[in-house]
Every structure is written in structure tokens, then in C-alpha cells.
Structure 1
């Protein structure tokens, strides 16, 4: 029987391995193993029928040694404090890999948002913002969208926080509507970063995106944007999936048509039909034959058992923590190259940083400028990973952790311990 998956223990285990492989001084590691603050809040909300429900919410602030805490807010029925702790830790590592001046945080509410009306979601979001308002702020902790949240959610957070402070506070969140100070290119940034990561990886072997076959598990914001960008850059997207199941076509799916279909409220891929397209399971999306597999759903998708059955050459992690520690070992033994989440999906937080800078400076940048800066920054970070791969003879995941931990440990060392 496989051991129970614990995302927080998974990230700590990989960090410990990276400390050893990268020959990093462990004196400050106890600090980095533990979040600086864990907040649990209970959120009473009046429902549309007049009843009152109490929801459980979290905000975990892992590290602000390199800058303000930064991390998304997710709404999911299976959200737990341990999951949020892992996600906050990954955010600290991700910001260090990208070399942007942020620390890591994450928030979440245990709720199935599909069971709530828009008015109920608004009241829940405002109550959550009120509960965590004392610990967030433009120079303290900056939330952003994550699973099942979006620019509308961030608009509610922004308005609630601004009302509490008696003035507009656009820098308190990123991923908000452009009309409220959001950045052009932010909505598609994480998916775009996944495509950039794939392009950089393929270039190491003299390959291009055009003609490369791609399978994408998950058609939320990240997966759908990645699918569209892959499609328009000439890649052949052979499989996609959402919570209802997957679609497969060996000759390539029409991603524009699928995207238009999914834009309809409550549309699911299980009800989509087109010539030459077959319906498959989410697991079959993972195991189908392709060049590049992009897990863009939730954690713990590529397990040890699934890893043995994969038929891809590369994996580019669009989701946070989709691959277990045991699966990593299988992938390495099979020669499947994996681009880790803390680099591959960093496009969102990088453009969030750009949005934050625009808010602080009261500027707006054009989409082309944002996209160009994103690709330049990710290319530079990828070169750093390759240098560590050569130095330490390790995987890209281990290299990413080593790059991040060297920066975090150095920051802790030069700061010292107060008091």
C-alpha cells in the first residue's frame, strides 16, 4: 500500500535533499522548514436563503526574508491547512528561483465554490478579507488568484481592504481587473510561463514548439491559457481534460473551438463532441502518448504508479506539487525530463510582481512589454538552473531547489536572528 500523500512533508523532504546535494549550510534550515505564521479563521456567512454557514479559511505566511509575503488564495472543498503550508513554502522557493523580491504565502477557504451563488461568494470573500486584513497589505502580504478564484475575487478583496483603510489600496492584491489597477498579461501569465518553460527545455535539444505533441491535464485558467498559446505557436495539443474527463485526438485538438465551448457557463468537456475527438479519462490524459505532458490540475496527480505508465518524453509542471517524491525517482530512472513547478509555473507570480511595481509607481505597461520582460526573466532563471545541473549533476527539480535555498539561506545568514 502506498503511503498517504502529505504535500508539506513532500516539500520538506525535497528541500532536505537539495541542502545535501547542493552542499548548503544547514544552520539556518530549521527556520526555512517552518512557516513564520499560520492563521486559521472561521467565516460566518449569511446564505441567500437566510441560513448561516461557517466556513474555515487559512492564510500561511512562510517567509518574508527576501520581501513581502506573496501568494494566491484558493477555494476548494478539499483545502487543508497542511496543503496551504506546502503551497506557501513552494511560493518562497518559486520567488527565489525567479529572483523577484518576494517571500512566500498562501491562502485558502474550504468550500466548493460551485455550490455558492455569486452573491454568496462575494460575502464569503469579503468576510475572509476582513478576517485576514490585519496581516495583509501592499508592503506586507499580497494575495492573488489561485484555484477557483479570479480577477473578480481579487476585486472583492481589494474593495473590502480599501474600505477598511478608508482609501484605495491597489497594491494589496495582484491579478485584479485592469480597470482597478491590474496588469495587462496577468491573466494568461502562468500559462504563458509554462509555454516559455517548454520552449527553453526543447531548445536544449535543438527542438522547437512547432510540431511538438502536448497533453494537458486541467483546463482551468493555467491549463486553458497554456493550451491556447501552445496551439497558436504550432504545437499539436493531442489531449486536454477538466474535472468531467478528457478529450483526445492524435492529429490535434481544435483548442480555439474548445475554448469557445468552455466559455459557456457550466460547460464541461464531457459534453463536448467533434469529429475525430474521443472521450478519455483524466488518468488517460496523463498516460497518453505525447512529447510533453503538462499537469495543470491539483497536487498529487503523478504518483509512483502513474509514473511507471507515462508515455511522454518531458513533463512541465503547471500545477503546484503535481508529482510525488516517489514518482520523481521513477521518472529519473526512466529518463523522463521534468521541469519543476517552482520554475515552470512562476509566470503568474513574476507578472504579479510587474503589476505590483506598476501600482507602486502609478504606471501602466503594454502587454507586449510585460510578455517580453517575462520571457527575459524566465530565460535568465533557466540558465541558472542549467548551471546548477552541470555543477551538481542533478535533476532540474533538484537544481531549482538548490538555487532557491542558496538565496534563502544566504538572506537568513546575513540578516541574523532577532533579538
Structure 2
């Protein structure tokens, strides 16, 4: 039975069990179904790619500084490993859910496939507010979580990386715990480590740099010069601030930025170097920044501009505000900043969306570089890292642009078609082991 026949019979419209209708996983599945129809994907392959390979949930007992025991819940989801070892970040947040982790793991599968990196997709998380933990408690939590995942993690199996509220220090603890159990140093078991432990130069800036590489490619397609471009950036963390700075260096006029303290707008352009200095000297916050006027987050998203870079959280552009977005290009620095039900509205308004699984794939691309360097024991200069990153991101953008023109579909749809076709083709060639 073909995919189109299956859709007609309702097979592909069946909801995924235990998944909320408006969840991130449901949004991903809606886009996945569209690509399956375009590709006339076999039912069995659809089933295979719809479900995670492995879902691990663990209890993490931690002895707190005052002697009491607290128990936290941890997750690791391996969505797919057909292209190679699974790859994905670990986030620490009291809002972490298994549904969210499943969605992010699937996104990692497609993201790696889009940029032709030989990794599968995974994601992990611990339900905890790390701000409530001391450094010693955080270390004990991380090491126990790692100990519970020893049969999951591995440089040839599953390779974690930093994500929300985790950093290179957390990766160092994971690497050390895993290495102690293996009785040898295994620095390739994680990426995003300190450089002295085998981390890669250029890794911190990689996601923002990838966003800008794709943005410049999109501006070229629209024949807009970077020096004549106005930019709005939502989120001023690592991805947002790097994206803003690199666009600023290209001559673009960044007219609005934001962080958790609110939005800041200057129609004549913001001095991004000054904003970064201010944030760094004020506890990584823009609160009180006088180089721009305060503006609400909602109004910031709806400003007239050439490029909008949502680099904060999920679901920021949705069916409620999508019709009021006035950007020519949206480059998704965050994961899932545009909901599935907003895609059509943006398309109708002629807005080019560079999807997250391409736009923010610079991080996983340089993570791949880090893994390669660790395996070879030979490390590259930052210039070489950036040059190879720019080349791979530009090639990936061009690949998706060709697919979008071939099928007369959006870049997001093209990304899913390209990624799913690559994974499905690999699956067919490898076969199912029985």
C-alpha cells in the first residue's frame, strides 16, 4: 500500500499513543507525515522512523549537602542510530518531560541527516532546577546520572553534549565518570568539553555561526545585501548573541534584541559589541541596558525587519501571532520556535523560514568535528573549524533549496524530505537485522 493510499485510509493520521495533540512531538510528527507523503514512504519504514529506538528513564538518588537524600528523574531517548552513533544534548530543567525529550531526539535525527553528519539522534534530560543545587550537589547528580547511563553512553554508541542549563563542566564530569568505569580516558564520549580535555575550538560559537551562514545564503537568494539588512534577534544567550554579533560584523543593522529581562529596540540600530559587554558585566543580563528602548517580547517579534532570528524557546511564533510577523526571513536559532500550525500562515505571507534542523545545526556539526578530532588525537585551528563549518552549512542550505524548488515546497518541508529520504534510504540498504 502506498503512503497516499495509507493517508486516505487514515493510517498516517492516527495519533501517536500517549502524545498530547499540541506537543512538540506532535508538531514534529505533522511535518514528518507531510514528508512521508511526498516521498511515498513505505508503511513499515514510516512506523520504524516514527518511534524512538530506546527510551531510558532512571531515578537519580543524590545525597545533598545537608545529608538528606533527594531523588530526581532522568531520561535518555535514542530516536535513531541508522546513520551512526546517536548524538544529542542533555538538559537540566524542572520543566523537562519525556514528551519534550522524544521530540528533541527526533529533531536531532533529522538535523544530523540534513547536514550529512554520520550521527543518529538522541536527547537527554534531568528534571531538576540546577539553580537550587550547590556545585557539589550538581556534580553528584551528574555523576550518578552518568553511572545509570553507562550501558547507553559510549563514543561508538551515544554521545551527549551540553544543552539547556548544562555546560562544559557538566560534560567534563560525564567524561570522567565514564572514563573511570572504562579504566581509560574516553574523551570522545561527550562533546562540548573544555578544550584542555579534548574540546574543539570554535564549538561555543558554532550554532550562532551556522545560523548566520544560512541567513547570508538566504539573503543571497533574495538578492538582499547584508549591509542593507535589518535584523531582530530574540534571545541573547550563546546562540542569539553570537548571531547578532556576526550579523553586525557583516554590516547588518540589528534593531532589536531581547533576553529574559525583556526586549530592547533602537530603530537606528544597536551597538551589539556594547550590548554584549553590558550583558557580560551585569550577570549575563541586559536589564537596564540604555542603548535601546524597552519593548515587549511580542512586539519585538512583530517588528518590520528583513531577518528575524528567534533564538530563545519553543513555540514563540504560533497561529495567534504568525499573521503579524513582518520579517522576510526567519532563521530558527532555537529548537521549534515556530509551531506547525503557524507554518502555513508564514508561507502565505511569503516569509522564508530557515528551519531549526538546518539553521541551528552548526552546533552538532562542530560537535562532529570535535568527535573526529578526539578519535584521531589531532586538533584543528579555529580558522579550519570555521571554514569547514561554513562550507558544510552552505552546502546543506543549497541542497535544501534545490529540494524545495524540485517539489515546490518550503525549506522546512524540504528539510524533512531530504533528511527522511536519507535515513530511509540508509535503512533500506542496511536492512532489518533479524
Q: Same fold per TM (> 0.5)?
A: yes
Give the corresponding residue for 1:169: 186
Is residue 292 from structure 1 mapped to residue 289 from structure 2 by the alignment?
no
What is the SS of the residue equivalent to 1:134? coil
Segment drifting more, 44-53 vs 96-105: 44-53
Give the corresponding residue for 1:11: 28
Alpha-carbon shift at residue 118 of structure 1 (Å): 2.3
Q: Unmatched 5+ residue regions in structure 1?
A: none
Is residue 317 from structure 1 mapped to residue 332 from structure 2 by the alignment?
yes
Is residue 406 from structure 1 mapped to residue 421 from structure 2 by the alignment?
yes
Match runs of 1:81-230 below 5 Å: 81-230=98-247
Distance 2:112 2:238 in 1: 20
Distance 1:99 1:397 in 2: 16
Alpha-carbon shift at residue 110 of structure 1 (Å): 1.5
Superimposed CA distance per residue, residues 170-229 of structure 1 (whole angstroms, 9 cap, x where no aligned partner)? 000011111000010011100100000100100112223223111111122211221222
Distance 1:49 1:242 in 2: 34
Is residue 244 from structure 1 mapped to residue 265 from structure 2 by the alignment?
no
Distance 1:123 1:390, change over 3 A: same
Match runs of 1:212-361 below 5 Å: 212-264=229-281, 266-269=283-286, 271-275=287-291, 277-361=292-376
Distance 1:257 1:308, change over 3 A: same
Does structure 2 conserve the Cα–Cα contact (< 8 Å) formed by 1:5 and 1:300? no
Distance 1:216 1:411 in 2: 37
Distance 1:144 1:76 in 2: 15
Alpha-carbon shift at residue 4 of structure 1 (Å): 6.0
Instruction: State the Cα RMSD in Å.
Output: 1.5
Distance 1:125 1:259 in 2: 30
Superimposed CA distance per residue, residues 323-368 of structure 1 (whole angstroms, 9 cap, x where no aligned partner)? 1111101101111110000100010001110110101111010001
Distance 1:119 1:288 in 2: 44
Distance 2:32 2:364 in 1: 21
Does structure 1 conserve the Cα–Cα contact (< 8 Å) formed by 2:314 and 2:336? yes
What is the SS of the residue equivalent to 1:305? coil
Give the corresponding residue for 1:364: 379
Give the corresponding residue for 1:388: 403
Distance 1:179 1:403 in 2: 37
Q: State TM-score, norm by structure 1.
A: 0.96
Segment drifting more, 172-181 vs 143-152: 143-152
Alpha-carbon shift at residue 266 of structure 1 (Å): 3.5
Distance 1:115 1:288, change over 3 A: farther
Distance 1:138 1:387, change over 3 A: same
Give the number of aligned pairs.
Answer: 415
Alpha-carbon shift at residue 142 of structure 1 (Å): 0.5
Distance 2:66 2:89 in 1: 30
Is residue 378 from structure 1 mapped to residue 390 from structure 2 by the alignment?
no
